[in-house]
Structure 1
Amino acid sequence: MKNDLQKINLNILIAGFLLFLMSFSALYAQSKAEKIEKLMQTYHKYGQFNGSVLVAENGKVIYKDGLGMANMEWDIPNTANTKHRLGSITKQFTASLIMLLAEEGKLDQQKPVSTYLPDYPKPMGDEITIHHLLTHTSGIPNYTSFPGFFEEKSRDPYKPEEFVETFADSSLQFTPGEKFAYSNSGYFLLGYIIEKVTGKPYEEVLQEKILTPLGMKDTGYDHQETILKNRASGYEKTGNGYRNAPYLDMSIPYAAGSLYSTAEDLYKWDQALYTGEILSEASKKKMFTPQVPNGSGGYGYGWGMNYSKLENSKDSILTIGHGGGINGFNTNIIRVPEDRNLLVLLNNTGGANLSDIGENIKHILYNESYEQPKKSVAKELLSTIAEQGLEAALARFKELKSDDQYALRENEINIAGYQLLRTGMTKEAIAVFKLNVEEFPESGNVYDSLGEAYMEDGNIEMAIKNYEKSVEIDPGNNNGAQILKDLKAKRKSK
């Protein structure tokens, strides 16, 4: 009897200890969720995030929410199940379709484009392979960077074969395979190849091979005319608020950026990538291996890779992800396969600094210190321009850049400049881009943006001067080099 009582007591102790461990684990996970929630609420309070977010740890969702409005006109809030345009996150789905077709023996990544599109202009069609398109090493110019693209082409509907013609005759920026230069044109072409190989529309192939098998009912090709429940509207920041984002015909982003989805559906996608449900292990290895090394990571097939050190460890962790940006929206998906961690950020006010937000969430997941959000100098600058004019804004800028409560970020100032430029406030845009040049003189991008503003203003000499500086600092700025070449030719012809 005594032994039986001892066994019972021991079992009670073990059960109690296990219950304690489970409770401790739940509280620990909850504390991370609370930190993430507080972080996101602060970003939203400062006007730096408006959208949907989901975070998973060890494959389990620990936080998901919507912040701000999906529709500002009707005060409809964002949720974790709000549908957002994804922009370039679309590329990983296009790359996956290519890999699936390769598995089926319907195409070969090492074959040239002309194998599948015999009419593609020579000699480019014989020199560019599917692999080059997947890895942004084709040399095909990026159509969204063409001068006047947004003003002249972005609102018009195109069939895939029609739009391919707008960039197919362009001179290559470099010999295929020579270097990396991000190009929406390459992924547009991949979508067209998918259609040619299968004899079906791109979106139908996507539905059949990925979305339906995974039960991704809240993901698809976004058509403006379709009545789509829970679709977020896209907005752009102005000096003192928001405005509706400019219209973009969704036939143009196509296989490079026309999908919509939800944070919850992208979690389904993430989970499926750990199984063989859609892609073979061999295909996933190719997708998630840097085909084009770049610093601490590189670019695979539709995904970027990066190795980063942990604060509390000598080890590095591999993150696999991709961002997206399209009128009124910017997005990010970040995966840490080693720990099955996932971050999904879908913002419907454009221009949010999702990289910093993602880094802070990652630090929380790994019990590291993280930066508290700060107010944005760029946001205050735009607001002051709108309310008091440029002169007052420049004076305010001098005060704010030394204020510890405010953060001065190159990309945010750059976005502010473009917001002014696209609303016809060219003089103000030039002044803002000049501030960025003064603060970040070692960045090629700030000179590129200032050059574009001068070009918009008709000042060819100053445009050339800044594009020259941009290309000097960043020799990989192939688009800037092409614009510089065109500007010099234009000057010579006068």
Structure 2
Amino acid sequence: MKRKKTLPVLGGAWLMLLACTTDQIPQPVAESGSSDNYHNHPRQADYQAALQTFSQKWNCPGSIMLLKRANESVWADAVGKANLEYQTDLRISDQFRMGSITKTFVATVVMKLREQGKLQLDDKLATLLPEVMGKIPNAERITLRHMLSHTSGIFDPTNDDGQYQLALLNNPARRTAMSTDEVLAEYVYGRPLDFKPGDRYSYSNTNYWLIGKLIEKQTGQSLQQALEQFIVKPIGLKNTYIDRRDDRNVVRGYNNFYANGKLMDVTTFDRADSDGQANGGLISTAGDLFAFSNALFSGKLISLTSVKEMMTVPPVRQGTTEYGLGLDSYESPIGTAWGHNGTLLGVDANWFYFPDKQATYIILANNGGGADKSFVHDLLSRE
């Protein structure tokens, strides 16, 4: 299954600054956790053992896994720690940074606005956001569909600009204070397109920065308010938001940053790079994400026609893609899966649904080094 790129380990004397840039780690506030208990699930032993093995193999301080198979009740469990500084046990109900899983939520809002006649997928960027004319080449040719599917050609500083990455790591407080407009002005505007719109696929977080802006413009609301109106309130999510809040009870993120086998708390950088942003700022839980997945693929949030469009991969002239409109896919031994990865420096989040199997898995881990999740195919296909 595909993974999105994360920040590279960059050499040089500036690395010594990292220890000075991290915030003091706040102590979590004690609160009651979820009362959910899946120990009586018929596959508890198999699933629990698989989760333990996964977490140990990939050196995850903590991991959560949720599995749902057709004709079988949902199972979920958590192992390890949410916060190494205070040795806080990870719970199923704990909030995680979801990284790029955010994009599916944002795309769902777009599809709802489209159903209401407020947007069309072939609307041009220059029409939707006239202020980018002269700042993003071919804005009059780039469509909303191009941006949703990462076929716009717009430059992506988070993955492809060393200066952006260095600035984030050396001064996360400055990046945290920057608005989306300021990030676009400093790192995107004036850069040439990587290719002509529609020619090929190239993952770019900038697409969703721009989509977040146009959602706010079209609705007259903040992105948080739009998510609440179109997703959170309609399906009763309790622990999902995108705006910046006190995050002391959000699971901390870790990374083997110096490649020395020791995990470093990198939450400060994840916050700076994603919090409040339409490309990766979602905070949620395994349970809320599962509820969203069920609502999306059953047509409760948007029509099944719109869901089918999200699951349709646009043709490209050069190369191939498995990305639809805010939904990623991959081929597996048990069929095609649809969902999204979420990768931050200290987070590795995966959510995928297999329509043919009517099966879902969610794996959340607080080590951003990346991990192989293919073991779930066997778990979801066992008789």
Structures share a fold, TM > 0.5? yes
The Cα of 1:252 is off from its aligned counterpart by 4.7
**1:176 counterpart = 2:191:** no
**1:322 counterpart = 2:323:** no
- Seen in structure 2, the aligned counterparts of structure 1 residues 297 and 320 have a Cα distance that, compared at 3 Å, is farther
Is the 1:247–1:327 Cα contact (8 Å) retained in structure 2? no
- Relative CO higher for 1 or 2, CA cutoff 8 Å, sep ≥ 6? 2
- Seen in structure 2, the aligned counterparts of structure 1 residues 176 and 274 have a Cα distance that, compared at 3 Å, is closer
Decide which of 144, 148, 152 is 1:130's aligned counterpart.
144
Partner of 1:333: 351
- Seen in structure 2, the aligned counterparts of structure 1 residues 281 and 246 have a Cα distance that, compared at 3 Å, is closer
Decide which of 120, 131, 136 is 1:119's aligned counterpart.
131
- Seen in structure 2, the aligned counterparts of structure 1 residues 250 and 191 have a Cα distance that, compared at 3 Å, is farther
The Cα of 1:68 is off from its aligned counterpart by 0.9
- Seen in structure 2, the aligned counterparts of structure 1 residues 210 and 134 have a Cα distance that, compared at 3 Å, is same
User: SS at the partner of 2:348?
Assistant: strand
Partner of 2:328: 304
User: SS at the partner of 1:279?
Assistant: coil
**1:258 counterpart = 2:281:** yes
- Seen in structure 2, the aligned counterparts of structure 1 residues 185 and 262 have a Cα distance that, compared at 3 Å, is same
Partner of 2:360: 342
Decide which of 65, 79, 104 is 1:92's aligned counterpart.
104
- Seen in structure 2, the aligned counterparts of structure 1 residues 183 and 220 have a Cα distance that, compared at 3 Å, is same
Is the 1:321–1:334 Cα contact (8 Å) retained in structure 2? yes
Runs (5+) with no aligned partner, structure 2: 1-39
Is the 2:201–2:321 Cα contact (8 Å) retained in structure 1? no
What CA distance in whole angstroms lies between the structure 1 residues aligned with 2:93 and 2:65?
Answer: 9
Q: CA RMSD in A?
A: 2.5
**1:78 counterpart = 2:90:** yes
What CA distance in whole angstroms lies between the structure 2 residues aligned with 1:43 and 1:251?
Answer: 28
Partner of 2:28: none
What CA distance in whole angstroms lies between the structure 2 residues aligned with 1:163 and 1:61?
Answer: 44
The Cα of 1:285 is off from its aligned counterpart by 0.7
**1:207 counterpart = 2:221:** no
Partner of 1:44: 55
- Seen in structure 2, the aligned counterparts of structure 1 residues 89 and 233 have a Cα distance that, compared at 3 Å, is same
Aligned residues: 331
What CA distance in whole angstroms lies between the structure 1 residues aligned with 2:125 and 2:73?
Answer: 41
User: SS at the partner of 2:322?
Assistant: strand
The Cα of 1:207 is off from its aligned counterpart by 1.3
The Cα of 1:109 is off from its aligned counterpart by 0.8
**1:236 counterpart = 2:255:** yes
Q: Deviation string for 1:431-475 (max 9, x for gaps)?
A: xxxxxxxxxxxxxxxxxxxxxxxxxxxxxxxxxxxxxxxxxxxxx
Partner of 1:491: none
Larger radius of gyration, structure 1 or 2? 1
Letter in 1 for 2:225: E
What CA distance in whole angstroms lies between the structure 1 residues aligned with 2:53 and 2:320?
Answer: 31
Is the 1:52–1:65 Cα contact (8 Å) retained in structure 2? yes
- Seen in structure 2, the aligned counterparts of structure 1 residues 45 and 330 have a Cα distance that, compared at 3 Å, is closer
Decide which of 165, 172, 178 is 1:150's aligned counterpart.
165
What CA distance in whole angstroms lies between the structure 2 residues aligned with 1:193 and 1:202?
Answer: 10
Is the 1:85–1:222 Cα contact (8 Å) retained in structure 2? no
Runs (5+) with no aligned partner, structure 1: 1-27, 311-316, 369-494
User: SS at the partner of 2:207?
Assistant: helix
- Seen in structure 2, the aligned counterparts of structure 1 residues 309 and 327 have a Cα distance that, compared at 3 Å, is closer
The Cα of 1:112 is off from its aligned counterpart by 0.6
- Seen in structure 2, the aligned counterparts of structure 1 residues 297 and 115 have a Cα distance that, compared at 3 Å, is closer
- Seen in structure 2, the aligned counterparts of structure 1 residues 94 and 53 have a Cα distance that, compared at 3 Å, is same
What CA distance in whole angstroms lies between the structure 2 residues aligned with 1:181 and 1:296?
Answer: 10
**1:187 counterpart = 2:205:** no
The Cα of 1:363 is off from its aligned counterpart by 1.3
Is the 1:51–1:345 Cα contact (8 Å) retained in structure 2? yes
The Cα of 1:127 is off from its aligned counterpart by 1.4
Q: Deviation string for 1:35-87 (max 9, x for gaps)?
A: 22112112223344422111111275442111110011111111111111011
TM-score normalized by the length of structure 2:
0.80
User: SS at the partner of 2:140?
Assistant: helix
What CA distance in whole angstroms lies between the structure 1 residues aligned with 2:315 and 2:341?
Answer: 17
- Seen in structure 2, the aligned counterparts of structure 1 residues 309 and 234 have a Cα distance that, compared at 3 Å, is closer
What CA distance in whole angstroms lies between the structure 2 residues aligned with 1:280 and 1:332?
Answer: 24
- 172-181 or 249-258: which moved more? 249-258
What CA distance in whole angstroms lies between the structure 2 residues aligned with 1:118 and 1:175?
Answer: 20
Is the 2:101–2:340 Cα contact (8 Å) retained in structure 1? yes
The Cα of 1:276 is off from its aligned counterpart by 2.8
Q: Deviation string for 1:248-292 (max 9, x for gaps)?
A: 374753111001111111111111123332101111010112224
What does 1:218-233 correspond to in 2, within 5 Å? 218-221=239-242, 223=244, 226-228=245-247, 230-233=249-252
User: SS at the partner of 1:298?
Assistant: coil
User: SS at the partner of 1:42?
Assistant: helix
Letter in 1 for 2:350: N
Q: Which has the higher helix share?
A: 1
The Cα of 1:137 is off from its aligned counterpart by 0.5
Letter in 2 for 1:298: E
- Seen in structure 2, the aligned counterparts of structure 1 residues 230 and 54 have a Cα distance that, compared at 3 Å, is farther
- Seen in structure 2, the aligned counterparts of structure 1 residues 249 and 38 have a Cα distance that, compared at 3 Å, is closer
What CA distance in whole angstroms lies between the structure 1 residues aligned with 2:254 and 2:243?
Answer: 16
- Seen in structure 2, the aligned counterparts of structure 1 residues 269 and 61 have a Cα distance that, compared at 3 Å, is farther
